[in-house]
Amino acid sequence: MKQTMGISSSDFDYIRQLIYTHSAVVLDSDKTYLAELYLQSIAESAKFTTISSLIAYLRNQPFNHLHTQTIEALVTNETSFFRDKAPFEALRKYVLPELMQRRRIERSLNIWCAACSNGQEPYSIAILIREHFPLLADWSIKIIASDFSSKVLNRARQGRYNQLEIRRGLSQQLQVKYFAPVDNEWQIHNKIRQMVEFQQINLIHSWSSLPSIDIIFLRNVLIYFDIPTKKALLGKAKQQLRLDGYLFLGSGETTFNLDESFERVQFEKSICYKLHGT
């Protein structure tokens, strides 16, 4: 039996609070249509007759896999290969050459992609390194990719993408060079997949599993949080980043009026952030 009426305002408020409590993501008040779309599917697969009966269950049970499934379904996982291009150009032309010079004795670099979703961003960085920096072949390069969702991390670890995903941001040359067709999908080569280490990290919880990081990609993440959470995350990023490291945010994001420890650095069309005085 299909749910015929929209989600009630009290049920939607509960869902918004559930998401905020466990991920700190703020689900906009005009996103009821998204809740109806995704919760309908969850309700049907879990054998609930309506969305409201699913939510009644969630309200009255200890936190379990259905709560997790609900949160993961409503937290955006939008991504693509080489998304926005400019940050990757900055990485290739300026940031990596500078850090290679600074790290020439220790010969190691740690790069972290927070909220990596299905893995396109960390794999893009791995491809960029393989394509343009052969000198790094005998360095210790750690690319850590994290997300709070086990579902998207499982997909990311597999490194398999459909035709639409593979065409978004990836040139045909790179597609042919680094992917192989498998069952109407494209599988990334093991040599790239093995360059990325995936971890499940909820950004509002501990980052203790991470080493000190040279480059943090926290792109298109802060936009989903309220101001206190943005400040908290930037404070944690400041502690995780090496003193001469770089922080990349999304094009619509900034540290301005949130954390004055960072200064803005512009490389052509890309803006990133360094700690003051470094």
Summarize pLDDT for 145-181 with one digit per residue, the tens.
Answer: 999 988 899 999 999 999 989 988 899 999 999 999 9
Helix (H) or strand (E) holding 248: strand 241-249
Q: What CATH number was assigned to the domain covering residues 9-74?
A: 1.10.155.10
Residues 87-116: pLDDT tens digits?
999 999 999 999 999 999 999 999 999 989
Cα–Cα distance list, 210 to 109, 120, 231 (Å): 13, 20, 20
Q: Is 78 helix (H, G, I), strand (E, B) or coil?
A: coil
Q: What is the structure's pLDDT at 213?
A: 98
The angle at the Cα of 211, spanning 272 to 259, to the nearest 5 degrees, equals 40
Please state, in angstroms and rounded to a whole number, the distance separating the CA atoms of residues 209 and 256. 28
The amino acid at 38? Y
> What's the CATH class of domain 86-275?
alpha beta
Does residue 4 contact residue 203 with C-beta atoms inside 8 Å? no
Q: Is 194 helix (H, G, I), strand (E, B) or coil?
A: coil
For the chain, domain boundaries: 9-74, 86-275
Residues 6+ apart with CB under 8 A from 131: 174
| Local confidence band at 278 (pLDDT 50, 70, 90 cut-offs) | low
Mean pLDDT throughout 123-129? 98
HSE value, Cβ hemisphere, 13 Å, CA-based, for 232? 11
| DSSP characters over 70-99 | HHHHHS-----TTTTSHHHHHIIIIIHHHH
58 phi, psi to nearest 5 deg: -60, -40
The yes-or-no verdict on residue 222 having pLDDT over 80 is yes
**pTM of the full predicted structure?**
0.88
Residues 65-77: pLDDT tens digits?
899 889 888 887 7
218 bridge partner residues: 249
The angle at the Cα of 210, spanning 204 to 213, to the nearest 5 degrees, equals 105
The yes-or-no verdict on residue 3 having pLDDT over 50 is no
Q: What is the structure's pLDDT at 161?
A: 95
Mean pLDDT throughout 188-201? 96
